[in-house]
Amino acid sequence: DVQPAVGGSAEQQQQRRTPVKRLKGPAAAEAEAEAAAGRPTLFHEGTRVACQPRAETERVQSAPPSLSVGGYDRVLVDAECTHDGSVKHLSKFAAWGWETFEKRFLEPERLASLESLQRALLRNGFGQLKPGGSLVYSTCSFARRQNEGVVEWLLACEPSARCVPLGALLHGAPCRTGSLEDTVRFEPCSSGTSALFIAKIQKLPLALAD
């Protein structure tokens, strides 16, 4: 069971949370302290498992091109998204009510915050790669802003980043090319699955980047 705690007013916090289990005891106190400090925090079964201050998210987005050499050959960034393409998540509206769809998925402040988080996650992941290593970025959203838009942003920021063709996947699975070359989309109407966006990005040595 997962409960996120975020900063802002009590009303804003309540709107942004999707509590599955209410925290109790020391975990509850820790969550409130993190929320008061404006630090997005993820708790799993009462234990804090992730926390990144908003200022850190903004710093990662505005940083110059990465000159560091990470230690990983492969990185997966399965990013948090609006889940608007997930059949499992959409089925929850039978209980929530479809009149709440716009509030839950399309609230402008949430979308802007989510895009910032996705950019930071992708750039952080890219920084962990060795030269020659590759990263897969994925979401279950239909939104271009959360998919091709985030990848285009990274390519513009990082001269050593390039999309890798996924031709083998295109020829062997019921998917189509995204609006950005070398990206892939699965869609319920054509693939019989939830929506899925995939981009594979390789890290080149800066000396080879054009």
- Contact yes or no for 149/90 (Cβ under 8 A): no
- Contact yes or no for 182/135 (Cβ under 8 A): no
Of 81, 140, 157, 163, the catalytic one is 140
Among residues 49, 51, 60, 27, the alpha carbon closest in space to that of 150 is found at 60
Cα three-residue angle 41-43-48, rounded to 5 degrees: 80
The residues near 163 (Cβ < 8 Å, ≥ 6 apart) are 151, 155, 180, 181, 182, 183, 199, 200, 201, 202
**Whether residue 189 lies in the annotated active site:** no
- Contact yes or no for 77/92 (Cβ under 8 A): no
Q: What are phi and psi of 33, to 5 degrees?
A: -65, -40
Name the pairing type of β-strands 129-139 and 72-78. Answer: parallel
Catalytic residue numbers read: 140
